[in-house]
Amino acid sequence: MKKTFTTINILAFLLLQSVSLNAQSSIHNIAYNKDGTISMIVFEKGTSKNAITKEGKSTANSLNNLLKLSDNIELRFNKTTSGVQDFITEYYDSYINGTIVEGGEYHINYKGSDIISITGRNYSTSDIVADKELIGESKAFDFAKKSINAKSYAWENSQNLNKFSKPKGKLVYIPIENQEGKVSLFLVYKFDIFATQPLSRDYVYVDANNGLILKKNAIIKHSESFYKKKNNNQSKEIQIINKASKLDKSREIEQANADTRYSGKRFIETELSNGSYILRDNSRGVTIHTLNANNMESSDFVSEFNDNDNNWTAEEYHNDKRDDAALDVHWGTIKTYDYFKNTFNRNSYDDKGAPINSYVHVGNELVNAFWAGDFMGYGDGNADIDALTSLDIVSHELGHGICQETANLEYERESGALNEAFSDIWAAIVEHTYAPEKNAFVMGEDIFLIAPYFSRSMSDPKLTNDPDTYKGTFWKAASVEDGCTIPWGSINDYCGVHSNSGVLNHWFYILVNGKSGTNDIGNSYNITGIGWESAEKIVYRLETAYLTSKSDYKNARDFSIQAAIDLFGEHSTEAIAVQNAFYAVGIGGKYLLFPDTTSPTSPTNLVAKDVTGDAVSLSWDSSTDENGIWGYIILQNGSEVYKTQETSLRLTGLTPETSYDFKVKAYDNYSNVSSESNLAKITTTSQPKACLASSFSPNFFTISNVKIGDIDNSSTKLLGYEDFAYLNTNLELDTEYTIEITPKAANGYEQSPVGYSIFLDKNNTGDFTFDKRIAVISPRGSSSKLTATFKLPEDTILNQPLRLRILQTYNGITSSGCIGYNYGQVEDYSITAKSKKLAVSDLLKEEEIKIYPSPVKETLNVVLKDNKEFNYEVLSITGGVIKSGISKGQIDVNYIQPGTYILKVNQNGKVITQKFIKK
């Protein structure tokens, strides 16, 4: 299923052809993203960083060569971070013509003067679909603000101490997923929109071309999924403005006793201020400050928690307001800070000593806690769930801050699930370190007063309906192809981030603790854990040195094995355990002591169908292998033409009226190839290859059903172009037809104007010029069925399948059927034109003809008044010609299947049709 990166030296060799001599001799191995681009290069041990850098500075040119980037992608140095030991990581960003490409980051890892590895992701200029700035920043801002639709915003609030000014839009490129493994770059304005009523903070991405909201990326990250917990109401008013405290070393620091709500008696550091003690700690070289948001009851709503004698007792604070929750937050924040400082010498979440401010009593019975970009907020909970301030929740939230400043995993889809998992993993580690009596491998056990008495389990994610196997039971749709179109917090939990995190959570549990069992995809395993200390080092290195914002589970697997190798050596117990624990959660092959040299079984039941002039659909039954299947190779007339990890595909680019042979082979996880499948043969039709047309971002609008003639076709895929040209209907000239189109819009886009242009390739040449447009539907909302009427053009070629193309386009119609554009979908069908119906005067009168018998078995008798020859056709009920010829009165129907037929008689230009039944 997945390829291990330790066994791909052949590919590494191919890559060397284009790399400078220095780097050539020094590449150890390479790993790939699902789309085939390079995700990681690992260098031979002892490779000097001068192999790709010059006097300490990376030369962009050599990086471009190594990573196979196109010339107009410029890698710019962003920052350096230091890890444990003498590891150093440099972060780079991609730019195209001076504009940053979000998600196009690379990390280069060094140890002393040696280069270890490069990881990252490439989006190339060939992916750009829209790079025109047409709307201007201020209009873009209006669209962004409208999309949030809040009552008030941080920059409008007089309390904000000038911290938030009206957000400025930044022009950036962002990749948008179209279908699995395929993305397009869009030029957008990016705004940081911080709403205070109701609370939300997102990066909002507005298409610079037309103002459509392409994407939101949550800056505020919650401990709980909104859609999972029913009784959670985010719409209540919340106002929080971070009043950041400045570090003032002159202040006096006191150690105090705190009777925490969930962790018993603990020591905290406080500060004497105006005669009483407050929850502010300046003793660590950063300010850790815990404040009271007062459920928004006071007008100056943020205040200090105060105590007169610095003995914060349960008698004083274990009250109905749950004030002691603040002591858990303060203590938990201090301990999380200490953990990262003591273990990794990390100074606050940003490693630059940023103050850590927390607000308790946020909202009214808010059943959530959150990280908001530079502070944290905690709700009081309700009757079922206590205040969300337990140690694991506090360290979870601060964990989001660390992720934000390092891997910065995008909070959606698989990267968002990794982001959530890192927070849970840090929560487990901090809890294990400072409160070993708690259950480190479950989240929220201190606060859940109702079953199952916790929110997530890392040892058994299935207890809360979360997956423990990649794409196994309870896996939530994460990709567009899987059905999660647009990531949306309240609708789909940003495509399953709080649920799919279960897979990495369970990986970490197995890595620490060990486990034996069989996962949802049938991998059986028996793993000895490596313990907390080694596991946490690997996790830290994975997050801070290797992962980038768009990384997915495959990347996490490949990179963490390398992180373990960096720390503990190749073939070390730790590196093997990392690989095997990923195998246990369904990602990649297991570590093998002796290489796998056995081929998979060959694929069976290869079927080729839905043939047009240039395309065919292939499907087959999957192969098996003791160590798992990586993918399949398609052979066309004996040559390899395509690779896929699926068991079906639509193959295009064929030549009309040509015979083809297809076969399929399987690869295992270790590059062993199976023998060939059965042969599937086809001959393509006469329809020529058509000009290209596609929407690049069908996430927003698609065509979900088309009815025309006998065709009634529903489709659900989010592809920019769907080829249904293998579906044909007969239409007659000079007859009015109705085409009915049912559109589908993503949530929130139902009212957006979408138009339709319908083209017919009436002379079968494969293009769709303006004169071939036969109908349009002007732009309108996408919530109901739409119709257009048309007649076939007089000069339409008769009696052969002709391509009919429907283009669904956002905010307009199109004069050409051969275009690529942003939003909507293109679908092709076929029609066969038939000669027009004759006028009544041209028809034979009924008394002029007699047909018998009906039902008929062998010979149909036709008696015409004038007893001469006539042309006839026997038609199926759908209009297909079964038989035709010239007769004087008798037609042999002996070999026709039983059923109802139409006899069409033409005598001297006069035509009549009559039904008959064949028994």
Q: Which residues of this chain interact with Zn ion, rule CB under 5 A?
A: 221, 223, 423
Q: Which residue lies nearer to Zn ion by CB, 218 or 435?
A: 218
Please state, in angstroms and rounded to a whole number, the distance separating the CA atoms of residues 88 and 864.
Answer: 97
Q: Which residue lies nearer to Ca ion by CB, 177 or 668?
A: 668
Segment contacting Ca ion by CB under 5 A, of 50-58, 533-541, 569-577, 716-724: 716-724
Partner whose footprint covers residue 259, from Ca ion, Zn ion, none (CB < 5 to 8 Å by kind): none
Q: Which residues of 274-300 are buried (b: 16+ CB within 10 A; e: fewer)?
A: eeebbbbbbbbebbbbbbbbbbbeeee
Q: Which residue lies nearer to Ca ion by CB, 93 or 625?
A: 625
Partner whose footprint covers residue 392, from Zn ion, Ca ion, none (CB < 5 to 8 Å by kind): Ca ion
- By CB under 5 A, tell whether 675 contacts Ca ion: no
Partner whose footprint covers residue 640, from Zn ion, Ca ion, none (CB < 5 to 8 Å by kind): none
- By CB under 5 A, tell whether 598 contacts Ca ion: yes
Partner whose footprint covers residue 598, from Ca ion, Zn ion, none (CB < 5 to 8 Å by kind): Ca ion
Catalytic residue among 410, 498, 722, 827: 498
Which helix or strand (DSSP H or E) is residue 573 part of? Answer: helix 573-584
Catalytic residue among 74, 102, 269, 397: 397
For residue 635, the minimal CB distance to Ca ion (Å) is 20
Please state, in angstroms and rounded to a whole number, the distance separating the CA atoms of residues 483 and 481.
Answer: 5
**Residues present in the chain in total:** 919
Which residues are within 8 A (CB) of 11 and not within 5 positions of it... i.e. 6 or more apart? 30, 32
Q: Beta partners for 38?
A: 32
Please state, in angstroms and rounded to a whole number, the distance separating the CA atoms of residues 645 and 731.
Answer: 40
Secondary structure (3-state) at 680: strand
- By CB under 5 A, tell whether 324 contacts Ca ion: no
Task: Write the interaction track for Ca ion spanning residues 426-465; mark x where CB under 5 A is met and - where it is not.
Answer: -----x----------------------------------
- Identified binder of Ca ion from the candidate list 44, 248, 252, 309, rule CB under 5 A: 309
- By CB under 5 A, tell whether 869 contacts Ca ion: no
- Identified binder of Ca ion from the candidate list 37, 671, 715, 730, rule CB under 5 A: 715
Q: Which residue lies nearer to Zn ion by CB, 403 or 831?
A: 403
- By CB under 5 A, tell whether 307 contacts Ca ion: yes
For residue 629, the minimal CB distance to Ca ion (Å) is 9
For residue 507, the minimal CB distance to Ca ion (Å) is 18
- By CB under 5 A, tell whether 319 contacts Ca ion: no
Q: Which residue lies nearer to Zn ion by CB, 115 or 220?
A: 220
For residue 700, the minimal CB distance to Ca ion (Å) is 13
Q: Which residue lies nearer to Zn ion by CB, 144 or 443?
A: 443
Segment contacting Ca ion by CB under 5 A, of 11-19, 167-175, 238-246, 592-600: 592-600
- By CB under 5 A, tell whether 596 contacts Ca ion: yes
Pairing of strands 182-197, 128-130: parallel
Partner whose footprint covers residue 281, from Zn ion, Ca ion, none (CB < 5 to 8 Å by kind): none
For residue 465, the minimal CB distance to Zn ion (Å) is 17
Count, residues near Ca ion per rule CB under 5 A? 15
- By CB under 5 A, tell whether 311 contacts Ca ion: yes
Determine the Cα angle at 479 with ends 474 and 480, to 5°. 125
Please state, in angstroms and rounded to a whole number, the distance separating the CA atoms of residues 635 and 607.
Answer: 13
Query: Phi, psi (5° rounding) for residue 629?
Result: -95, 135
- By CB under 5 A, tell whether 802 contacts Ca ion: no
For residue 652, the minimal CB distance to Ca ion (Å) is 17
Which helix or strand (DSSP H or E) is residue 426 part of? Answer: helix 413-434
Reference 407, options 349, 356, 355; nearest CA is 349
For residue 461, the minimal CB distance to Ca ion (Å) is 14
For residue 443, the minimal CB distance to Zn ion (Å) is 9
Partner whose footprint covers residue 311, from Ca ion, Zn ion, none (CB < 5 to 8 Å by kind): Ca ion
Q: Which residue lies nearer to Ca ion by CB, 86 or 309?
A: 309
Please state, in angstroms and rounded to a whole number, the distance separating the CA atoms of residues 114 and 192.
Answer: 39
Please state, in angstroms and rounded to a whole number, the distance separating the CA atoms of residues 270 and 274.
Answer: 13
For residue 184, the minimal CB distance to Ca ion (Å) is 18
Partner whose footprint covers residue 668, from Zn ion, Ca ion, none (CB < 5 to 8 Å by kind): Ca ion
* DSSP state letter for 48: B
DSSP 80-121: EEE-STTEEEEEEEEEETTEEEEEEEEEEEEETTEEEEEEE-
Q: Which residue lies nearer to Ca ion by CB, 75 or 745?
A: 745
- Binders in 376-415 for Ca ion, by CB under 5 A: 392
Q: Which residue lies nearer to Ca ion by CB, 137 or 610?
A: 610
Q: Which residue lies nearer to Zn ion by CB, 5 or 226?
A: 226
Please state, in angstroms and rounded to a whole number, the distance separating the CA atoms of residues 686 and 684.
Answer: 7
Reference 703, options 785, 821, 779; nearest CA is 785
Q: Which residue lies nearer to Zn ion by CB, 455 or 555?
A: 455
Which residues are within 8 A (CB) of 307 and not within 5 positions of it... i.e. 6 or more apart? 256, 270, 276, 277, 316
- Identified binder of Ca ion from the candidate list 414, 668, 761, 828, rule CB under 5 A: 668
Please state, in angstroms and rounded to a whole number, the distance separating the CA atoms of residues 525 and 515.
Answer: 8
Burial (0-12, 13-18, 19+ Cβ within 10 Å), 656: middle
Active site residue 397: yes
DSSP 478-521: -STTTT--S--HHHHHHHHHHHHHHHHHHHHHHHHHEEEEE-TT
Q: Which residue lies nearer to Ca ion by CB, 74 or 392?
A: 392
Handedness of CA 18, 21, 22, 26 (dihedral sign): positive
Partner whose footprint covers residue 423, from Zn ion, Ca ion, none (CB < 5 to 8 Å by kind): Zn ion
Pairing of strands 694-697, 820-834: parallel
> Please, are residues 485 and 406 in contact by the beta-carbon 8 Å criterion?
no
Report the residue closest to Ca ion, judged by CB.
Answer: 715
Give how far Cα 600 sits from Cα of 90, 136, 796, Å. 41, 56, 52
Secondary structure (3-state) at 855: coil
Determine the Cα angle at 690 with ends 685 and 695, to 5°. 130
Please state, in angstroms and rounded to a whole number, the distance separating the CA atoms of residues 191 and 214.
Answer: 12
For residue 368, the minimal CB distance to Zn ion (Å) is 9
Q: Which residue lies nearer to Ca ion by CB, 93 or 392?
A: 392
Segment contacting Ca ion by CB under 5 A, of 26-34, 286-294, 702-710, 853-861: 702-710
Segment contacting Ca ion by CB under 5 A, of 356-364, 547-555, 672-680, 807-815: 672-680
For residue 707, the minimal CB distance to Ca ion (Å) is 13
Partner whose footprint covers residue 93, from Zn ion, Ca ion, none (CB < 5 to 8 Å by kind): none
Please state, in angstroms and rounded to a whole number, the distance separating the CA atoms of residues 152 and 157.
Answer: 8
For residue 172, the minimal CB distance to Ca ion (Å) is 30
Partner whose footprint covers residue 351, from Ca ion, Zn ion, none (CB < 5 to 8 Å by kind): none
Tokens, residue 539: 């996790």
Partner whose footprint covers residue 712, from Zn ion, Ca ion, none (CB < 5 to 8 Å by kind): none
Partner whose footprint covers residue 380, from Zn ion, Ca ion, none (CB < 5 to 8 Å by kind): none
- Binders in 616-655 for Ca ion, by CB under 5 A: 625, 627
Which residues are within 8 A (CB) of 484 and not within 5 positions of it... i.e. 6 or more apart? 413, 476, 477, 478, 492, 495, 496
For residue 883, the minimal CB distance to Ca ion (Å) is 37
Catalytic annotation, residues: 397, 498
Q: Which residues make up the interface to Ca ion (CB under 5 A)?
A: 307, 309, 311, 392, 431, 596, 598, 625, 627, 668, 672, 702-703, 715, 722
